[in-house]
A and B are shown apart, each in its own frame.
Chain A
């Protein structure tokens, strides 16, 4: 990284700090409410601090199970989307294929159909195939709907790895796969993590798909069980809802922290976007 004068650096720190505070402010309600014994839908300082909301969630086996299921579903989804996208993105990035453009464009267009419109046909398809209530089929469906973005982003990240580096590996006797594994993938790690986090987050927060496709309460992921804090006639248990939400953000936050180690390495070589 370049050298900058001290004033400039300080200014950047200041701006970033301000942005961070601004981003934190809307979350204050959630943080306060999660330790408030009588949280309401307005900002207020808790009369006294309580851990009751958190312990109510952490000791509820149903909620804990839904977290586990959500982690499995989202984990598998992120893994498979990355794996399948890498396979598909390689030829799309490296070879001149005549149908490339219409293919990429049409799958991308289709993603702008809202899930609320698509879910009923999907449900009927699941019924027809007798897949209703199957977590595996639901996960595969979710993998498929994330593929368009996955492939598109992966292809773009792959485009930014210069072919020359790969060719050098071939000359050293590597196969295509060897080139991908030894040269392309390491350079693409930040991109791969970006896609994995993006897919995981999308899946982790996906309420509508599992809600409609899964019937058995014991198979529902955390994105659906969150609705158990909403009672009839608009009575909401805000305290537990907030505590649930704080815990709910943890997996992605941990994933992001972990990925940071690979994401901001700052490669000394590597090419720019063509």
Chain B
């Protein structure tokens, strides 16, 4: 055992202890710092700088990059589509991630406890398969599922005698929300499985012996015990879902009209379809802002620990 650094910190006087801790912390975090600085923070800062330029991949601007001040932001705030896109993004995130994925993720993880191993595996695999199917294919799967002659309409017709519904056209937002719940639940399920596994069986058993009902057990014991994980998970899925692009783009292309044009779709269309990359970058900063605000809100309300 090396005496200097790794003797358990408590054996040292307080000040020296803190100093040693900081030093060790510094060394442990060096790999992260270096990588994050070069490959993460630098490009992010560059991205922010580019939002003040006329950057474009093609056309006259491509050969004449220049700073244009706040012009992109002025254009953006004048565009009525911005407010709509922000609103759609929030709806999409709240319903598909915060409510949908977290709820189903928890429900599945909770009910899977103590079930037959093979059964658990099969259910888990199906849910994981939804998560790992390539995004472009997920789009096709959902179009085939929700199409006029799609699986859902066939089932609804043969089981309930329903007339075919043009789901993607009539309920575009609901469709992409459900598709995203379907796609993303696996992640929350895994996180909750991990957290629920950590709950000592004795705690719950003791509560049952004290005469707690099932509902009380869940709300008074289980959920409070994984409260921290729930809060963290909500925060992570929020940040992940803010950027969801391919799923929406392959399913609806942002349409019909602009019905499903969330910010990433709006951004992509401006940057790569209308070839205004600088402008698109400015739009992406709105996403950054929403992400920051949401995180701060969660820290306040859900008391996400840092």
Measured between alpha carbons, how far is A24 from B25 in the docked complex, in Å? 46
Q: Give every chain A residue within 8 A of B280 (Cβ-Cβ).
A: 116-117
Please provide the chain B residues from 27 to 56 with a CB less than 8 Å away from any CB of chain A in the complex: 28-29, 31-32, 35-36, 38-44, 46-47, 50, 55
* B99, CB-defined interface residue at 8 Å: no
Q: Give every chain B residue within 8 A of A167 (Cβ-Cβ).
A: 8, 10
* A215, CB-defined interface residue at 8 Å: no
Contact indicator B40/A20 (Cβ below 8 Å): no
Q: Give every chain B residue within 8 A of A223 (Cβ-Cβ).
A: 134
Contact indicator B41/A110 (Cβ below 8 Å): yes
Q: Give every chain B residue within 8 A of A111 (Cβ-Cβ).
A: 239, 243, 291
Contact indicator A95/B40 (Cβ below 8 Å): no
- CB-CB nearest in chain B for A176: B6
Q: What total count of A-B pairs have CB within 8 Å?
A: 330
Contact indicator B190/A268 (Cβ below 8 Å): no
Contact indicator A267/B226 (Cβ below 8 Å): no
Name the one of B25, B151, B187 contacting A26, with C-beta atoms under 8 angstroms. Answer: B151
Name the one of A20, A120, A173, A190 contacting B194, with C-beta atoms under 8 angstroms. Answer: A190
One of B74-82, B119-127, B252-260 contacting the partner = B119-127
Extra pairs beyond A101-B306, A147-B32 (17, CB < 8 Å): A2-B114, A2-B208, A4-B114, A16-B123, A23-B130, A26-B179, A29-B140, A30-B141, A112-B287, A113-B285, A114-B267, A121-B50, A143-B35, A190-B198, A226-B136, A253-B129, A266-B197
Name 28 A/B residue pairs within 8 A (Cβ), A-sorted: A1-B113, A27-B129, A27-B133, A43-B145, A91-B24, A92-B25, A101-B306, A105-B306, A107-B36, A109-B288, A111-B291, A112-B288, A113-B287, A114-B245, A118-B47, A122-B39, A144-B35, A149-B236, A157-B194, A170-B8, A174-B8, A194-B191, A249-B132, A260-B121, A263-B197, A264-B120, A264-B193, A266-B113
Q: Which residues does B use to contact A, with CB under 8 Å?
A: 1-2, 6-10, 18, 21-22, 24-25, 28-29, 31-32, 35-36, 38-44, 46-47, 50, 55, 57, 104, 107-108, 111-115, 119-138, 140-145, 147, 149-152, 154-155, 179, 182, 185, 187, 190-191, 193-195, 197-201, 203-205, 208, 214, 225-229, 232, 235-236, 239, 242-243, 245-246, 264, 267-268, 271-272, 277, 280-281, 284-285, 287-288, 290-292, 295, 305-306
